Amino acid sequence: MWKKLFITIASALLFSCGNPPERNCKNFKTGTFSFTTIIDGEEKTTTFSRTVDTEIDYFEGHRDTSSVRWINDCEYILKNKSPKNKAEEKSIHIKILTTSDSSYTFEYNAIGDKRKFKGTAFKTH
Tens of pLDDT, residues 23-59: 899 999 999 999 998 889 999 999 999 999 999 999 9
Asked whether residue 38 is domain-assigned, the answer is yes
DSSP tally for the chain: helices H, then strands E: 2, 8
Q: What is the pLDDT at residue 47? A: 96
Instruction: Give the count of domains, the chain.
Output: 1
**What residues have CB less than 8 Å from 43, skipping those under 6 apart?**
36, 37
CATH of residue 66's domain is 2.40.128.490
82: domain range? Answer: 22-123
Asked whether residue 43 is domain-assigned, the answer is yes
Asked whether residue 15 is domain-assigned, the answer is no
Q: What is the pLDDT at residue 5? A: 43
Asked whether residue 102 is domain-assigned, the answer is yes
Asked whether residue 76 is domain-assigned, the answer is yes
Asked whether residue 56 is domain-assigned, the answer is yes
12, pLDDT greater than 70: no
